[in-house]
Amino acid sequence: MAKDTAKPVILWFRKDLRLDDNRALHAVHRSGRPVIPLYISEPESAGTGPLGAAQAWWLHHSLEALDGSLREQQGRLVLASGEALEVLCAFIRESGAEAVFWNRRYDPAGISIDAHIKHELEKQAIEARSFGGQLLHEPSRLMTGNGTPYRVYTPFWRALEGGGEPEQPLEAPAKLRIASQLPKSEALESWKLLPTKPDWAVDFTDLWTPGEDGAHEKLRAFIEDALDGYKEIRDYPARPATSLLSPHLAFGEISPARIWDATRGLSKRVAAADVVHFRKEIAWREFSYHLLFHFPRLASNNWNERFDGFEWRNDDDDFKAWRRGMTGYPIVDAGMRQLWRHGWMHNRVRMIVASFLIKDLLIDWRRGEAWFRDTLVDADPANNAASWQWVAGSGADASPFFRIFNPVLQGEKFDPDGNYVRTYVPELRGLGAKYIHRPFEAPKSMLDEAGIALGQTYPKPIVDHANARNRALAAYNATRDAA
Ligand code: FAD
Q: Choose the weakest-confidence range: 177-186, 315-324, 393-402.
A: 393-402
Cα of 166 from ligand 1 centre, angstroms = 20
Per annotation, catalytic residue among 12, 284, 303, 322? 284
Q: CA dist 26 to 51, 65, 173, Å?
A: 28, 19, 7
Per residue in 359-387, pLDDT (tens digit) is 999 999 999 999 999 999 999 999 999 99
ipTM over 0.95: yes
> How many CA atoms lie less than 13 Å away from 464 in the CB half-sphere?
5
Active site residue 388: yes
In order of start, what are the domains of the chain with their CATH numbers? 9-133 (3.40.50.620), 135-168+210-295 (1.25.40.80), 305-482 (1.10.579.10)
**Residue among 285, 295, 294 at smallest CA distance from 160:** 285
Instruction: Output the pLDDT for position 3.
Output: 47
Per residue in 299-323, pLDDT (tens digit) is 999 999 999 999 999 999 999 999 9
263: left (phi over 0), alpha (psi -120 to 50) or beta: alpha
User: Which atom from ligand 1 is nearest to the alpha carbon of 234?
Assistant: 2
Q: CA dist 184 to 9, 79, 268, Å?
A: 16, 8, 52
Residue nearest to atom 11 of ligand 1 (CA): 246
Instruction: Output the pLDDT for position 4.
Output: 55
Active site residue 303: no
- Give residue 1's pLDDT band: very low, low, confident or very high (50, 70, 90): very low
User: Which atom from ligand 1 is nearest to the alpha carbon of 243?
Assistant: 3
Cα of 411 from ligand 1 centre, angstroms = 19
Residue nearest to atom 30 of ligand 1 (CA): 384
Instruction: Output the pLDDT for position 2.
Output: 45
Active site residue 312: yes
Site to probe by mutation for ligand 1, drawn from 58, 383, 391 as the one with most ligand atoms within 8 Å of Cβ, is 383
- Give residue 18's pLDDT band: very low, low, confident or very high (50, 70, 90): very high
How far apart are the C-alpha atoms of 441 and 143, rounded to whole Å?
Answer: 52
Instruction: Output the pLDDT for position 47.
Output: 73
Instruction: Output the pLDDT for position 468.
Output: 98
Instruction: Output the pLDDT for position 139.
Output: 93
Per annotation, catalytic residue among 167, 186, 281, 412? 281
The reply to whether the predicted model has a pTM over 0.90 is yes
Per residue in 101-159, pLDDT (tens digit) is 999 999 999 999 999 999 999 999 999 999 999 999 999 999 999 999 999 999 999 99
Cα of 383 from ligand 1 centre, angstroms = 7
Residues with CB under 6 A from ligand 1: 234, 242-246, 249-250, 281-282, 284-285, 288, 347, 350-351, 354, 372, 376, 378-380, 383-384, 387-388, 391
Active site residue 365: yes
